Amino acid sequence: MTPTLSRRPETAHALERRRRAIHGWLLLTPALAMLATFAFYPSVATVWTSLFSRGTRRNPSEFVGLENYARLFDDPTFREVAVNNILYAAVTIPISIVLALVMALWANSKIPARSFLRTAYFTPTVLPMIAAANLWLFFYTPGFGVLDQIGALFGAPSVNWLGQPETALWAVCAVTIWKEAGFFMIFYLAALQTIPEDLREAAEIEGASRWTYTRRVVLPLLAPTTLFVLVNAMINSVKLIDHLFILTKGGPSDSSKLILYYIWESAFAFFDAPSAAAMTVLVLIVLGAVAALQFRLLDRRTHYR
């Protein structure tokens, strides 16, 4: 390309386009560099680490292929933790979504004191999980905890909610549901407020009951919101583990241990990075599947974006 040619309009245009593309790249570089450092590189490095043995002073770490994964599947603790996490997801996701929907319907209806309701439901969302766990200790402590005192009024025996394997995981689930429901309510509330009032009036003229109106009109219109909330709830069922540090530390005998907590423990308490990395890879695969699900479903309803 010679200088004289650049005088021609289409070439000037091409130059301008190239200049803008370079600007674009310059604008993207800082963010991409940070993402590469703290998301992409660590993801790849995790896979890499998971394929090597744990190095000690005598035995330097060496390539072992999928051995860490095999060891993981033989590890009874890992199996228990995986089952715990599946139960945790299976309990907290549907209950908090249904509660969120009911709360939103209440906060959006003509109930007295509904602004108080909205504030009360939403408050747990702004509290740190660590602080929330401290608040809940008050409820669960055997003997003088609130639950025990209420139980005592009805002659129920004292229950050590956090201290016995049968109840510890459920006690942890309750805190998660309490924390999440109000957060998800907000998204439903927003969606409810976009439903035109005419629809309700039309349904009333047709003689439809409130229940029929909710089920046949409102719920289908809330489907995109439910998808969004569902994906968030799935991510949270991996992510929300802070309260374990205060309430149970995964115990008693691993009965309330969740996978991210076990990853933390393996890496930073047992110093077994390869095992923690192998678990992380499994979690990333699950999260990747969730991502693929969301992208596919969203593609189908492009109007949503």
Which residues between 126 and 185 bind another protein (CB under 8 A)? 126-132, 134-139, 141, 144, 146, 149, 178, 182-183
Closer of 169 and 281 to another protein (Cβ): 281
Closer of 81 and 241 to another protein (Cβ): 241
Query: CA angle, corner 72, sides to 68 and 74, nearest 5?
Result: 120
Our finding on whether 214 is near another protein (CB under 8 A) is no
> Residue 34 CB, nearest distance to another protein (Å)?
4
Ramachandran area for residue 156 (φ above 0: left; ψ -120 to 50: alpha; else beta): beta
Binders of another protein among residues 256 to 275 (CB under 8 A) are 260, 263-264, 267-268, 273
Among 97, 103, 218, 258, binds another protein (CB under 8 A): 103
Euclidean distance between CA atoms 179 and 121, whole angstroms: 9
Give the contacts of 89 (CB within 8 A, at least 6 positions apart): 234, 237
Give the contacts of 297 (CB within 8 A, at least 6 positions apart): 227
> Residue 4 CB, nearest distance to another protein (Å)?
27
Closer of 3 and 291 to another protein (Cβ): 291
Binders of another protein among residues 58 to 87 (CB under 8 A) are none
> Residue 103 CB, nearest distance to another protein (Å)?
7
Our finding on whether 51 is near another protein (CB under 8 A) is no
Euclidean distance between CA atoms 240 and 125, whole angstroms: 12
Binders of another protein among residues 218 to 257 (CB under 8 A) are 228, 235, 238-239, 241-242, 245-246
> Residue 256 CB, nearest distance to another protein (Å)?
15
> Residue 43 CB, nearest distance to another protein (Å)?
6
What angle do the packed helices 168-193 and 223-239 form, to 10 degrees?
A: 150
> Residue 79 CB, nearest distance to another protein (Å)?
20
Measure CA of the first residue to CA of the last residue in the chain; give whole Å.
42
The residue assigned the tokens 């139980």 is 151
- Of 126, 121, 248, the closest CA to residue 178 belongs to 121
> Residue 202 CB, nearest distance to another protein (Å)?
20
Total residues interacting with another protein, rule: CB under 8 A: 88
Closer of 3 and 220 to another protein (Cβ): 220
Closer of 91 and 259 to another protein (Cβ): 259
Our finding on whether 122 is near another protein (CB under 8 A) is yes
Long-range contacts made by residues 132-140, C-beta under 8 angstroms, separation at least 24? 132/175, 132/178, 132/179, 132/243, 133/175, 133/242, 133/243, 133/245, 133/246, 133/247, 134/246, 136/171, 136/174, 136/175, 136/178, 136/243, 136/247, 137/246, 137/247, 140/171, 140/247
Our finding on whether 119 is near another protein (CB under 8 A) is yes
